[in-house]
Amino acid sequence: MRATKDSNGFSHLSVEEMNGHDKRPVLITGGAGFIGTNVANRFLQSGHRVIVFDNLSRAGVERNLAWLEREYGGMVDVEIGDVRNANALMKLVRGVSKVFHFAAQVAVTTSLENPTEDFEINARGTLNLLEAIRGLSSPPQLIYTSSNKVYGDLGDVTITEQSGRYVPLDAQARQHGFSEKRPLAFHSPYGCSKGSAGQYVLDYARTFRIPAVVFHMSCIYGLHQFGNEDQGWVAHFLARAIAELPLTVYGDGKQVRDILFGEDLVDAFLLAHQHMRRLAGQSFNIGGGPDNTISLLELIDLIEALHGKKPDVEFAKWRLADQQYYVSDIRKFGAATGWSPSVTSGNGIRMLYEWLIESGAVPRRQRETIHRPTMAEASVS
């Protein structure tokens, strides 16, 4: 697969060779979101039509949609709708080559407030999509993005503190992170809905031969991510700092995650499609891996170096199902496809910081444009 360089000089995969002569459009549910926008951009750059299906319920995503339409015009087909509408999905999947399923309710806190709605969007919405695809004589390839929350709070993992961050005592977990062999342990309604949806995808791949792969994602960050989105804690912290507003950290800030730049995730998606015949019916842990770990406190220190001023930090109690340490073991997907992250956490955070300023997404000192963080926004996923 041919690689192209982005404006920052990083090489990423082109979809041209992967798609070959298949000019059928690509369907992206939740396509106006941060990840959906990056996937859409990659396909549109190569001249492939994209169908963006989104209910525009998340703050900021309308800006992503406007940007895609401004950049690519009629190449983008926009369908405003909801995955709970099974009939709409049945119409959309006809004639598409690939489906990226990102539409979801993404916050643990919201799932606690309304478990039924969380289930209807994440679990039932995914089943609606699977049934729509199953009804086709030649089903398109499907990539479904799940969460590390399917592994629960990892309360059985013995953790110690080292250099101001948490690390597991187990040498294997410390060196490589958590692999797909880790038992599923759904915690919170959100964990249950995302986890059960992922299991449905895997079973439809086995039972009905739908070409589908599931990614259990760690923390993804990058361009077109707005700081007021649930789970977007890296962008959220940066946005608060740029606006010179205080941050709220839930817990002590020593919790650690592996973070993955959005363009590297898109590369992984493209490789999954390229190797779908071998990978269908499998799940993969995906993130920045052991080389791209960061704690909340370390991110705050990095923000100080970028911004020239340390943000004010307020601490609050731990949230339900918070993981003190989660790092993805990415070796399984790497061995299957040759993939590895190319953007280091330091470079990626710098690029996101600059984009938030240059794009006008977070005007400096415009306090009225930034709202106080919710528990979901200031937490790590």
- Span 304-354, pLDDT tens digits: 999 999 999 999 998 877 899 999 999 999 999 999 999 999 999 999 999
The number of folded domains in the chain is 1
| Domain-located, residue 200 | yes
Position 177 scores a pLDDT of 98
Percent over 90 (pLDDT), the chain: 82
Distance between alpha carbon 194 and the CA centroid of its chain, in Å? 13
The DSSP element (H or E) to which 61 belongs, if any, is helix 61-72
> pLDDT tens-digit profile of 261-306?
999 999 999 999 999 999 999 999 999 999 999 999 999 999 999 9
Mean pLDDT on 375-381: 36
Distance between alpha carbon 20 and the CA centroid of its chain, in Å? 27
State the Cα–Cα distance between residues 324 and 155, nearest whole angstrom: 9
Position 375 scores a pLDDT of 30
| Domain-located, residue 365 | no
Please check the confidence at residue 258 and state whether its pLDDT lies above 70. yes
Look at the block and give the residue holding tokens 């920045």.
Answer: 288
Please check the confidence at residue 19 and state whether its pLDDT lies above 70. no
What residues are labeled active site?
190
| Domain-located, residue 375 | no
| Domain-located, residue 124 | yes
| Domain-located, residue 167 | no
Take residue 137 and report the two structure tokens written for it: 């004589």
Q: What is the pLDDT confidence band of residue 5, given thresholds at 50, 70 and 90?
A: low
State the Cα–Cα distance between residues 247 and 352, nearest whole angstrom: 18
Cβ count within 10 A of residue 111: 25
Contacts of 82 (CB under 8 A, 6+ apart): 55, 88, 103, 121, 125
Q: How many Å from the N-terminal Cα to the C-terminal Cα in the chain?
A: 31
Position 368 scores a pLDDT of 42
Cβ count within 10 A of residue 331: 17
Nearest to 32 by CA among 85, 104, 128: 104
- Are the beta carbons of 336 and 277 closer than 8 angstroms? no
| Domain-located, residue 13 | yes
Crossing angle for the helix pair 345-358 and 233-242, to the nearest 10 degrees:
50
Burial zone of 175 (CB within 10 Å; 0-12 exposed, 13-18 middle, 19+ buried): exposed
Mean pLDDT on 211-216: 98
Q: What is the pLDDT confidence band of residue 60, given thresholds at 50, 70 and 90?
A: confident
- Residue-wise burial string across 43-52, b where 16 or more C-beta atoms lie within 10 A, e elsewhere: bbbeebbbbb
Owning domain of residue 71: 3-161+174-226+259-292+324-344
Burial zone of 226 (CB within 10 Å; 0-12 exposed, 13-18 middle, 19+ buried): buried
Position 363 scores a pLDDT of 67
Please check the confidence at residue 68 and state whether its pLDDT lies above 70. yes
Average pLDDT, the chain: 90
Q: Where are the beta strands (DSSP E) in the chain?
A: 3-5, 11-13, 26-29, 50-54, 76-80, 98-101, 141-147, 159-162, 165-168, 212-217, 219-221, 247-250, 256-261, 283-286, 293-295, 313-316, 325-326
The DSSP element (H or E) to which 176 belongs, if any, is helix 171-176
Q: What is the pLDDT confidence band of residue 116, given thresholds at 50, 70 and 90?
A: very high
Bridge partners (DSSP) of residue 77 are 51
Residue type, 74: G
Percent over 70 (pLDDT), the chain: 89
Residue 240 sits at φ, ψ, to 5 deg, of: -65, -40
| Domain-located, residue 142 | yes
Q: Where are the beta strands (DSSP E) in 196-320?
A: 212-217, 219-221, 247-250, 256-261, 283-286, 293-295, 313-316
| 3-state secondary structure at position 255 | coil
> pLDDT tens-digit profile of 120-172?
999 999 999 999 999 999 999 999 999 999 999 999 999 999 998 999 999 99
State the Cα–Cα distance between residues 104 and 30, nearest whole angstrom: 7
State the Cα–Cα distance between residues 87 and 211, nearest whole angstrom: 22
- Are the beta carbons of 286 and 216 closer than 8 angstroms? yes
Nearest to 68 by CA among 82, 56, 83, 85: 56
| Domain-located, residue 328 | yes
Residue 341 sits at φ, ψ, to 5 deg, of: -65, 140
Q: What is the pLDDT confidence band of residue 378, given thresholds at 50, 70 and 90?
A: very low
Contacts of 35 (CB under 8 A, 6+ apart): 102, 145, 220, 262, 265
CATH code of the domain covering residue 183: 3.40.50.720
Position 28 scores a pLDDT of 98
Q: What is the pLDDT confidence band of residue 24, given thresholds at 50, 70 and 90?
A: very high
Position 369 scores a pLDDT of 44
Take residue 315 and report the two structure tokens written for it: 């601490």
State the Cα–Cα distance between residues 49 and 217, nearest whole angstrom: 26
